[in-house]
A and B are shown apart, each in its own frame.
Chain A
Amino acid sequence: MLELKKVSKGYGTPGTHAFRAVLTDLSWQVGAGIRTGIVGPSGSGKTTLLNLIGALDRPDSGEILFNGTDISSFSNDQLAIFRQKSLGFVFQQHHLLPQLTLWENVLLPLLPSGKSVDKDSKDWAEYLLKKTGIWGQRNQLPSQMSGGECQRTAVVRAMVNKPSLILADEPTGALDEDNASILSDLLISLSREEGVTLVTVTHSAELAARMDKVWYLNHGTLSPFIS
């Protein structure tokens, strides 16, 4: 489903002292429906890798194939449509919009299409919220909810477009142990039920242990992680 071919990415001006290579000729594959964890030390390039997969950044060289299509050659608009239709993001911070209620935050990914939100989408959002146990708080603002509830909402928001790939960057990093556990369960169960591919960058050994496969990223190269 997802394949990286000789992907390189660095920051700064190439050829100068200021240039810092993060990923070098990285090749990697993720199969459909597989839950993958990426671990590694700080500064190893985990977030950079996730941003490249999430079409939020472009590689300096190499190809990123999604279902066989090279997304690195997409225009900005095509990338935006790709993100909207195929991807869901969950981050360490929930990044809910403080001015919107929980319900509105969840429906936000449906807006870029320009069409009004249909009943099916609403039913699906309702189902997800009920499943995550926060349906009762749907009319509350993020500021009125706990961190765990906000993070669960972020997961629902990531799922509302029925994406085929969810990218999670330290999804439990800002949560206490209980909430981290609840969120891990939620991510695993939803991805399993819906057959969604999950790529998670995490420092949490607990979460990494629940992945189908775990990779270790260091010095720009990925290798299978053996705990």
Chain B
Amino acid sequence: MHIFQFIFRSLRYYSGRNLLVALGVAVSTAVLTGGLIIGDSVRFSLEQTAWYRLGDVTHAVTVTDRYFRQELAGELRAETGHDVASVLMLEGMAVAGGGQQRVNRVQIIGINDDFARVTGMAQPFDIIDNDVVISRNMADRLEVGAGDALLVRIGKASLIPKNAPFVSDTETTVTLRVTVKAIVDKTEMGHFNLKNSQSAPFNLFISIDRLNRLMEFEGRANRLLIHAENAGIPDLYSALANRITPADGSLLLKYIPLTGETEISSERVFMEPAVTGAFSKIPETKKILTYFVNALKTAGKETPYSFVASSSGFDLQADEVILNLWTADDLGVSPGDTIRMAYFEIGPLRQLEERETTLRVKEIVPVEGVWADGDLMPHLPGLSDAGHCREWEAGVPIDLDKIRQTDEDYWDKYKGIPKAFVSETLGQQLWANRFGNYTALRIPDEEFSEEEFSSVFREHIRPADIGMAILPVKEEGLAAARGGVDFSQLFLGLSFFLLLAAILLSALMFRFNLESRSSQTGTLIQLGFRNRQIFRIILLETVFIAIFGIFAGLALAVLYTRLVFKFLNTLWWDIVRTEVLFIHIDVHTLIIGGVVSMLVILAAVALPLNRYLKRRVAELHRKDLVLQTSGNNRLKKIVAVALPLLATVLLLWQLMAGEGRNASMFFVAGGLLLPGLLLWADFWLSFYRNPANGGANAQGERTPGELTTGRLIRRNLSRNRGRSLTVIILFALGTFLVVSTGANRQDMFADAGKKTSGAGGFHYFAETSVPVLFDLNDPSRRATEGLPASFRSVQFHRVDGDDASCLNLNRISNPAILGVGTGQLTGRFSFSTRTEDLDPEDPWSSLEKELPGGVVPAIADQTVIQWGLGMKVGDTLMYQNETGDTLRLKLIGGLAPSVFQGFVIIGDSHFLKHYPTHSGSSVFLVEADGNEEEETGNDLQMIFRDYGWEMNQAPKRLAEFYSVTNTYLSIFLALGALGLALGTIGLALVLARTIMERQHELAVLRAVGFRKARIVALVAGEYGRLLLAGVAIGFVTAVVATLPAFFSENTDISFSTIAWVVALILVNGFAWIHGLAALMVRPDKLTDALRSE
């Protein structure tokens, strides 16, 4: 016989008991390795998502509301040697089934064959005319297949910023009927997305030429996709700077024969300061700003709607005006007279404010020669090309009643020739706006060639000046995937208590094995086996048991990960429209999980084994051998006092900290209190070991005391202190986990109507695919659009960015920015963290502050700050603004869970300063009057359906986000329940074993007259006390750990639910105790035991 043979015989013979040890090992391995696999898989899934989003694309050149030449792709390819593709990306919506199925926020992607090359696709889509290729999720949502027709509505792109003055907003979308040529999955770029998001976008690919024609563009694009592995941003930027032309900045050059000048103008109407600054350096350049004014007035007379030009070429003071003869006659004025000029100042959402200025007529000029220069009027579609005044679409209200026949005649004869001329100073003072400060530059050189034009442009204009940014999208995507929340840590941290419970259960089972086989050990010692040899034999046996448990645990770990992912994927499917998480099993992780589990279990058994082998043989041969833990040493006493003391100090400190309290400190306090109280439980059990303790005579002297049932119970508890303590620990851990996770569940519908809730008291949160250019609260606009009067809305400007909500597990750095007029949010929402920059009285007003160094104050959800960005309040986010400068956003406050999850919010004034040409708003909060919530919602849905209006009840949106958090909590709650199940198993095994061991003792009790019920009550009394002690310790420490949740407005702690959970734990425990005791305490068996005694 060999030693291994002996071991295998033992393993087989004691397979039942070994199986219980293996079960504990399997559970601990599953929890440990499962946590690691989840971490690996989340990282892998995020990386995969980045690949699916981008294919081979490594960099992207982006612009906002601007369009450059498609040819730039070829030029950049020639310059760098890398694959480059031009793409025209717009937003839209699609309808199928006669309007039955609708998808909003569709990415309309205009591509050519270069797209396939740059993304690494095997075959180009090969789409022409009205053929489109759509993503699988979109096809599923619309219930269409290849060959089916769709109605697509695309936000009308315009070379002119949509909210620029005098731009018509009547044509906001373009509609076309398309045929689905193919449906593509994620592996075929179906998930193409430049934004860092896990949500799968709805994608519709169309020919870029067709899309250009639809937008009335010629060869335009707004994205360059680059495949350039290992290329640096500076190299690509410099190559781009070498290749951009004035056309990429929407600049035009034309010769003006009338004046012999060359004019530089912009397709965007207003030219940005960077551009005008660059060309103003050419000597004698005249700067022109022509504006459409409402009226030129004098006493009793008025000339409505006229173009007025300001120029550095006019020799005028700021309060002087030159009128043409026609206007002077119309107004009846002569040089020296004063007139008033009325004009609109146009707000961010086309809010109009009419202003007036008084001017002195310096000169009257004939409508001829340089004074009849129609080119001074910028090209404003809908206005400058109108046949009659009554056809004007000026983007501002035109009072047709004011237009006279004489005005029509002027328009008919002179079109938009300015009727008045003012100084450059006055023009700048009155009409320079966020879109630009001039409408044209005139160079007095008819020889100024295209080449010079281009060279001056290249010399002075950086790509960033015309809004171009190069983003290392692949690198950022992969970095965000790798830098995301470490799910291994999260799951291991939160399942730590379960891990501990499983290890404890394994160790308990192992100890039972040792105890039951102690006689064997005694025999081996007698037979000459050395302690070392026995230690090795038992440890080897444990290794084999552990190996079995570990393999089972690894299988369980994969199953556990599958269940967790299935749970998350199912829950998230509707929200992110794709499967987010894929299982990725790395052999190294399995090995690490297995080895660590083995080491943990060996460490857990080595200590009691070592102590066990120090026993005398006679002791080992005793049937009632119990392996006791060590006694109450000094260190244990110090720790037992120090831990609760430290926990109390921490708790008091945090309670006194008021708003500044830190939730994690409460968890630390609870975490310290738990082992502290368990040590006290140990002392409690030890106390009754001494017969003199717990009894006193009438004189108060300590005596062994009278024997009562209670005293008998306490003495019994202390007899097997280690086992009793294990039962307490198992229940304490399980209860702690269940109560603490239960207390943290978020109920976003709780108090949703309150202004301080996460919904801010708003009923709806809406987003549009096409920006709404006007103010929804403007009564006149409500009248023209047919909007109900039963609501108020807060409108937000939005600059797209990465998805920073908890639906995106990546670590992101540039979340979407919202700009808002902060006065509208006063008194709404709640803040969970703040810096000194946040005004405690009116936090939202702090967004208008000017911080030192041009830093802009910003607010975001605390969860976004902490988890999405990996930052804290006081940190700064870096962006590139529209003019290429760095925009620094300082996070001055963190919101309690709110509908703003995913966004960073700044004040409107800062927003428009940094994104001056941004037009319209696409994010809305709506508050309906009284009981008209549903009706208002329906009206808005109907009226804005062509904008791709996607509206959610604000609390529902909040609940959707926090469903993710609640999912995690559900998982941890399930783990807690598993911990309790382990506790119950532990309790049942300890109880069953104790009853078996004490058959003789119980038989004696019966022999001396105890009835069965009394014996059962005695046993139940012992274990009931252990159960109560464990549950009480777990409950108290869990409440301490989660106190902030009790203070939170958004956490709907249901005390009754917690009470039910605790009651359930107790009922379950007591049911097992009574059931087992009643089952095992059988009079006939007891009589047998007595007989054998």
Indicate the member of B13, B523, B529 with the most A CB atoms within 10 Å: B523
Q: Considering only CB atoms, which chain A residue lies closest to B8 in the complex?
A: A99
A47 to B522, CA, bound (A): 14
Which residues on A sit within 8 Å (CB–CB) of B530?
76-77, 80-81, 112
Q: Considering only CB atoms, which chain A residue lies closest to B532 in the complex?
A: A77
Contact of B528 with A98 in the complex, beta carbons under 8 Å: no
Contact of B621 with A95 in the complex, beta carbons under 8 Å: yes
Q: Considering only CB atoms, which chain B residue lies closest to A90 in the complex?
A: B526
Contact of B616 with A109 in the complex, beta carbons under 8 Å: no
Contact of A76 with B531 in the complex, beta carbons under 8 Å: yes
**In angstroms, how far is the closest chain B Cβ from the Cβ of A152?**
16
Contact of B527 among A57, A93, A109 (CB under 8 A): A109
Tell me which of A25-33, A100-108, A176-184 binds B.
A100-108
Indicate the member of A85, A89, A99, A109 with the most B CB atoms within 10 Å: A99
Contact of B13 with A98 in the complex, beta carbons under 8 Å: yes
Knowing A57-B616, A95-B621, A111-B3, the reply to whether A83 touches B9 (Cβ < 8 A) is no
A34 to B1010, CA, bound (A): 53
Which residues on A sit within 8 Å (CB–CB) of B528?
80-85, 87, 109, 112, 161
Q: How many residues of A contact B (CB 8 A)?
A: 33
Contact of A54 with B526 in the complex, beta carbons under 8 Å: yes
Contact of A100 with B6 in the complex, beta carbons under 8 Å: yes
Which residues on B sit within 8 Å (CB–CB) of A107?
1
Mark interface residues in B818-858 (1 if CB within 8 Å of A CB, else 0).
00000000000000000000000000000000000000000
B533 at interface by CB-CB < 8 Å: yes
B14 at interface by CB-CB < 8 Å: yes
A80 to B533, CA, bound (A): 10
Mark interface residues in A115-147 (1 if CB within 8 Å of B CB, else 0).
011000000000000000000000000000000
Contact of B520 with A51 in the complex, beta carbons under 8 Å: no
Contact of A108 with B527 in the complex, beta carbons under 8 Å: yes
Contact of A99 with B14 in the complex, beta carbons under 8 Å: yes
B2 at interface by CB-CB < 8 Å: yes
**In angstroms, how far is the closest chain A Cβ from the Cβ of B1091?**
15
**In angstroms, how far is the closest chain A Cβ from the Cβ of B10?**
5
Which residues on A sit within 8 Å (CB–CB) of B2?
116
B909 at interface by CB-CB < 8 Å: no
A108 to B520, CA, bound (A): 12
Which of B526-567 touch A at CB < 8 Å? Answer: 526-533
Which residues on B sit within 8 Å (CB–CB) of A112?
527-530, 533
**In angstroms, how far is the closest chain A Cβ from the Cβ of B532?**
8
A95 to B525, CA, bound (A): 12
Which residues on A sit within 8 Å (CB–CB) of B177?
none
Knowing A97-B523, A109-B528, A116-B2, the reply to whether A47 touches B9 (Cβ < 8 A) is no
B707 at interface by CB-CB < 8 Å: no
A209 at interface by CB-CB < 8 Å: no
Contact of B1 with A51 in the complex, beta carbons under 8 Å: no
Q: Considering only CB atoms, which chain B residue lies closest to A75 in the complex?
A: B530
Which residues on B sit within 8 Å (CB–CB) of A76?
530-531
Which residues on B sit within 8 Å (CB–CB) of A104?
1, 5-6, 9
Contact of A99 with B526 in the complex, beta carbons under 8 Å: no
Q: Considering only CB atoms, which chain B residue lies closest to A108 in the complex?
A: B527
Contact of A83 among B6, B14, B526, B621 (CB under 8 A): B526
Indicate the member of B2, B522, B527, B531 with the most A CB atoms within 10 Å: B527
Mark interface residues in A159-173 (1 if CB within 8 Å of B CB, else 0).
001000000000000
Contact of B525 among A47, A56, A82 (CB under 8 A): A56
Which residues on A sit within 8 Å (CB–CB) of B532?
77
Contact of B9 with A100 in the complex, beta carbons under 8 Å: yes
B618 at interface by CB-CB < 8 Å: yes
Indicate the member of B10, B522, B530 with the most A CB atoms within 10 Å: B530
B617 at interface by CB-CB < 8 Å: yes
A104 to B13, CA, bound (A): 14
**In angstroms, how far is the closest chain B Cβ from the Cβ of A162?**
13
Which of B167-187 touch A at CB < 8 Å? Answer: none
Which of B103-139 touch A at CB < 8 Å? Answer: none
Indicate the member of A81, A111, A116, A157 with the most B CB atoms within 10 Å: A111
Chain B, interface residues (CB within 8 Å), range? 20 to 34
Which residues on B sit within 8 Å (CB–CB) of A80?
525, 528-531, 533
B519 at interface by CB-CB < 8 Å: yes
A118 to B691, CA, bound (A): 55
Which residues on B sit within 8 Å (CB–CB) of A84?
527-529
B12 at interface by CB-CB < 8 Å: yes
**In angstroms, how far is the closest chain B Cβ from the Cβ of A153?**
12
Contact of A83 with B527 in the complex, beta carbons under 8 Å: yes
Which of B497-537 touch A at CB < 8 Å? Answer: 519-520, 522-533
Contact of A95 with B523 in the complex, beta carbons under 8 Å: yes
**In angstroms, how far is the closest chain A Cβ from the Cβ of B108?**
75
**In angstroms, how far is the closest chain B Cβ from the Cβ of A124?**
15
Q: Considering only CB atoms, which chain B residue lies closest to A80 in the complex?
A: B530
Contact of B1 among A93, A98, A108 (CB under 8 A): A108
Q: Considering only CB atoms, which chain A residue lies closest to B7 in the complex?
A: A99
Indicate the member of B3, B13, B525 with the most A CB atoms within 10 Å: B525
**In angstroms, how far is the closest chain A Cβ from the Cβ of B5?**
8
Contact of B519 with A95 in the complex, beta carbons under 8 Å: yes
Which residues on B sit within 8 Å (CB–CB) of A57?
616-618
Which of B13-44 touch A at CB < 8 Å? Answer: 13-14
Which of B966-1007 touch A at CB < 8 Å? Answer: none
Which residues on B sit within 8 Å (CB–CB) of A108?
1, 6, 524, 527
A104 to B529, CA, bound (A): 15
**In angstroms, how far is the closest chain B Cβ from the Cβ of A12?**
13
A109 to B6, CA, bound (A): 12
Knowing A80-B530, A83-B526, the reply to whether A51 touches B617 (Cβ < 8 A) is yes
**In angstroms, how far is the closest chain A Cβ from the Cβ of B115?**
71
Contact of A56 with B526 in the complex, beta carbons under 8 Å: yes
Contact of B529 with A99 in the complex, beta carbons under 8 Å: no
Which residues on A sit within 8 Å (CB–CB) of B522?
95
Mark interface residues in A23-61 (1 if CB within 8 Å of B CB, else 0).
000000000000000000000000100010010110000
A88 to B965, CA, bound (A): 67
Which residues on A sit within 8 Å (CB–CB) of B13?
98-99
Knowing A99-B13, A112-B528, A112-B529, the reply to whether A51 touches B618 (Cβ < 8 A) is yes
Q: Considering only CB atoms, which chain A residue lies closest to B533 in the complex?
A: A112
Indicate the member of A76, A89, A157 with the most B CB atoms within 10 Å: A89
A169 to B480, CA, bound (A): 75
A95 to B533, CA, bound (A): 19
A212 to B533, CA, bound (A): 37
Contact of B12 with A99 in the complex, beta carbons under 8 Å: yes
A83 to B524, CA, bound (A): 10
A84 to B14, CA, bound (A): 26
Knowing A54-B526, A56-B525, A80-B530, the reply to whether A99 touches B10 (Cβ < 8 A) is yes
Contact of A111 with B529 in the complex, beta carbons under 8 Å: yes
**In angstroms, how far is the closest chain B Cβ from the Cβ of A51?**
6
**In angstroms, how far is the closest chain B Cβ from the Cβ of A185?**
23
Which residues on B sit within 8 Å (CB–CB) of A82?
528
Contact of B527 with A99 in the complex, beta carbons under 8 Å: no
A97 to B534, CA, bound (A): 14
Q: Considering only CB atoms, which chain B residue lies closest to A117 in the complex?
A: B1
A97 to B3, CA, bound (A): 14
**In angstroms, how far is the closest chain B Cβ from the Cβ of A91?**
8
**A-B CB proximity, top 7 nearest:** A84-B528, A99-B13, A80-B530, A83-B528, A95-B523, A109-B527, A56-B617
Which chain A residues have a beta carbon within 8 Å of chain B's beta carbons? 47, 51, 54, 56-57, 76-77, 80-85, 87, 89, 91, 93, 95, 97-100, 104, 107-112, 116-117, 157, 161
Question: Could you show 13 A-B contacts with beta carbons less than 8 Å apart?
Answer: A51-B617, A51-B618, A56-B618, A80-B525, A81-B530, A83-B527, A83-B528, A84-B527, A89-B526, A97-B520, A104-B1, A111-B6, A112-B527
Known contacts A56-B616, A116-B2; 10 further A-B pairs (Cβ under 8 A) = A56-B525, A56-B526, A57-B616, A76-B531, A80-B528, A97-B10, A99-B13, A104-B6, A108-B1, A111-B3
Which chain B residues have a beta carbon within 8 Å of chain A's beta carbons? 1-3, 5-6, 9-10, 12-14, 519-520, 522-533, 616-618, 621
